[in-house]
Amino acid sequence: MPTPRRSGEGPAPARGKRADALRNQQTLLTAAAAVFVTSGVDAPIREIAARAGVGMGTIYRHFPTRADLVVAVYRHQVEECAAAGPRLLDGADSPFAALRQWVDLFVDFLVTKHGLANALQSDGSGFEALHTYFLDRLVPTCAQLLDAAVDAGEIRPGTHAYELMRGIGNLCIGRDGDPRYDPRRLVELLLIGLRRPQPS
Amino acid sequence: MPTPRRSGEGPAPARGKRADALRNQQTLLTAAAAVFVTSGVDAPIREIAARAGVGMGTIYRHFPTRADLVVAVYRHQVEECAAAGPRLLDGADSPFAALRQWVDLFVDFLVTKHGLANALQSDGSGFEALHTYFLDRLVPTCAQLLDAAVDAGEIRPGTHAYELMRGIGNLCIGRDGDPRYDPRRLVELLLIGLRRPQPS
DNA sequence: TGACAAAACGGAACACTGCTCCGTATATTA
DNA sequence: TAATATACGGAGCAGTGTTCCGTTTTGTCA
């Protein structure tokens, strides 16, 4: 019955993989999540492997680049964030309010992940894919909210979702816990800057 | 005559240093500047040493941390930027215009230095001093411009220069040359966000 | 069940980088 | 010129990313 037939190629077969491989993949995700919390997303690979009780080879086999691992760990939350856009658009008082709420969501996500915002913009070796995944996944949602706010006349047109997302991500970079620097305040400033001068 | 007496301690004696030491220090600055352009401010120390034709020990003796070297290379430009504040305040049409011009100056400086903005916020080992120097040097100037604009009623009070500077610095982080991301546009948005809703 | 092939594992080993340490070379002074 | 303080050079250690291959485990089939 568990015929491992795989007609096409597709992104996520997960069929035909050996039981130990599946087990280890899960173990690695759990270990990585834990290590990310304590040591940040750029923790030594060895540390994650040790935590999971596997060898270095295993980690690289499952997650060829660091970005693959980070994406896997945070995939759920990113997808959730992407999905929240339309919902907020429906529920909020105005498109701009929805945009603001959504941005808050995104910022909350970033600031609670030690070093993630940094990694997102890092020009380091294994992080491009991370950058790409986040942007690919979230820019469309952001664009939808942005467009709605433009259509409603609440904000000036001309700003691209890609640029805004990167800007917000950038503002979230920093040693966490500095009371003199709160990304939220600056992000708020950025959003205010988007507004139409006069409500027409 | 060149009595090497040094009464106190002070920051910059530079007296009594051997001729070769002085020469090497200069050579290192030149080499570092060149390497920073091609390989970024986080180029391998070995590369800089090789370029200068000196050993590793020499570089560490003159510049104990990476930040010391980076600061030394860019000191002139940073001081210049700090000094430009008052001048702009005098010459511009309004304090806000002066602030904008000054920010432009700062952004221009950052975006033309490969990886400098990154390093400024890096939580890496040898970069804290860099962060500190830039902020110590530029925050007062920024605060002066900010206060003037507040006093003139052009912008809302409540924003701190430190936070603004860090935000601007953060926005300048990124792989340079991405046509879809222009720090200047976002910085402009930030400045617009600072303005008073109604010119009172 | 037992044997065999494919899949997966583990970790030694290599490369690269930051940084230190100390024997050697050079400048300065008397 | 001799003596001494300074400065130099680079080998060497430590931490990390990444690869490679001999060994082990799993799944299959007779």
Cα–Cα separations (whole angstroms), residue B122 to B51, B99, B131, B132, B166? 25, 26, 9, 12, 12
- Which nucleotides on chain D have any atom < 7 A from a protein Cβ? 6-12, 15-21, 25-28
Residue/partner pairs of A98-106 with CB below 8 Å, 24 or more apart: A98/A145, A98/A148, A98/A149, A99/A142, A99/A145, A99/A146, A99/A148, A99/A149, A99/A155, A99/A191, A100/A191, A102/A141, A102/A142, A102/A145, A103/A168, A103/A187, A103/A191, A104/A184, A105/A81, A106/A81, A106/A138, A106/A165, A106/A168
Whether A115 CB is under 7 Å from strand D: no
Q: By three-state DSSP, how is residue B42 classified?
A: coil
A157 touches chain B (CB under 8 A): no
pLDDT of residue A125: 73
Would you tell me the crossing angle of helices A183-194 and A161-171 to the nearest 10 degrees?
A: 160
Q: Is the pLDDT of residue A11 over 60?
A: no
Query: B56-105, pLDDT tens digit by residue?
Result: 999 999 999 999 999 999 999 999 999 999 999 999 999 999 999 999 99
Binning chain A into helix, strand and coil, the percentages to the nearest 5 are 70, 0, 30
pLDDT of residue B85: 96
Q: Which of A98, A196, A200, A76 is closest to A142 using CA atoms?
A: A98
Chain B nearest-CA residue for A117: B170
Question: Structure tokens of B26?
Answer: 């200069």
Domain boundaries, chain B: 18-64, 65-194
Query: B160-190, pLDDT tens digit by residue?
Result: 999 999 999 999 999 888 999 999 999 999 9
pLDDT of residue A177: 83
A117 touches chain B (CB under 8 A): no
Query: A126-169, pLDDT tens digit by residue?
Result: 899 999 999 999 999 999 999 999 999 999 999 999 999 999 99
Contacts of B161 in chain A (CB under 8 A): none
Other CB atoms within a 10 A radius of the CB of residue A83 amount to 10
User: Which CATH code is given to the segment(s) A66-194?
Assistant: 1.10.357.10
Instruction: Report the distance from CA of residue B18 to the C1' of nucleotide D2 in Å, as an integer.
Output: 19
What's the rounded Cα separation, in Å, for the pair A12 and A6? Answer: 11
Instruction: Report the distance from CA of residue A45 to the C1' of nucleotide D24 in Å, as an integer.
Output: 23
Measure A146 CA to nearest chain B CA, in Å.
Answer: 15
Chain A nearest-CA residue for B189: A193
Query: B115-160, pLDDT tens digit by residue?
Result: 999 999 988 778 999 999 999 999 999 999 999 999 999 999 999 9
pLDDT of residue B139: 98
Chain B nearest-CA residue for A128: B175
Which residues, 6+ apart, have CB-to-CB distance to B43 below 8 Å?
B35, B36
Q: Least CB-CB distance to A171: which of B170, B174, B180?
A: B170
Q: Least CB-CB distance to B123: which of A175, A181, A193?
A: A175
Chain B nearest-CA residue for A175: B123
Measure B5 CA to nearest chain A CA, in Å.
Answer: 43
At residue A8 the predicted structure's pLDDT band, cuts being 50, 70 and 90, is: very low
Instruction: Report the distance from CA of residue A125 to the C1' of nucleotide C16 in Å, as an integer.
Output: 13
- A159 and B123 in contact by Cβ < 8 A? no
Please compute the mean of the pLDDT values over residues A86-96 and round it to a whole number: 96
Please compute the mean of the pLDDT values over residues A104-110 and round it to a whole number: 98
Contacts of A118 in chain B (CB under 8 A): 121-123
Which class would CATH give A13-63?
mainly alpha
| Number of H-type helices and E-type strands within chain A | 9, 0
Q: What is the mean pLDDT of chain A?
A: 91
What's the rounded Cα separation, in Å, for the pair B88 and B81? Answer: 11
% of chain A surpassing 90 pLDDT: 84
Q: Least CB-CB distance to B170: which of A160, A163, A173?
A: A173
Query: In DSSP terms, which residues pair with A155 in a beta bridge?
Result: A195
Which has more confidence, A69 or A121? A69
Whether A159 CB is under 7 Å from strand D: no
At residue B10 the predicted structure's pLDDT band, cuts being 50, 70 and 90, is: very low
B186 touches chain A (CB under 8 A): yes
Question: Structure tokens of A195?
Answer: 């507004």
Identify from B42, B103, B123, B194 which residue to disrupt to test chain A contact, counting A C-beta atoms within 10 A and taking the largest count: B123
User: Does the domain formed by B65-194 have CATH 2.40.30.30?
Assistant: no
Q: Where are the beta strands (DSSP E) in A23-156?
A: none
A186 touches chain B (CB under 8 A): yes
Q: What angle do CA B10, B11, B17 make, to 5 degrees?
A: 95
Q: Is the pLDDT of residue B30 over 50?
A: yes
Identify from A114, A175, A192 which residue to disrupt to test chain B contact, counting B C-beta atoms within 10 A and taking the largest count: A192
User: Does the domain formed by B18-64 have CATH 2.60.120.10?
Assistant: no
What's the rounded Cα separation, in Å, for the pair B94 and B88? Answer: 10
pLDDT of residue B15: 54
At residue B11 the predicted structure's pLDDT band, cuts being 50, 70 and 90, is: very low
Contact B98, A93 (CB under 8 A): no
Question: Structure tokens of B18?
Answer: 């051997």
Q: What is the mean pLDDT of chain B?
A: 91
What's the rounded Cα separation, in Å, for the pair B65 and B59? Answer: 9
Q: Least CB-CB distance to A162: which of B160, B180, B189?
A: B180
Q: What is the distance in angstroms between the CA of the first residue and the CA of the last residue of chain A?
A: 65
| Nearest residue: Cα versus C1' of D18 | A60
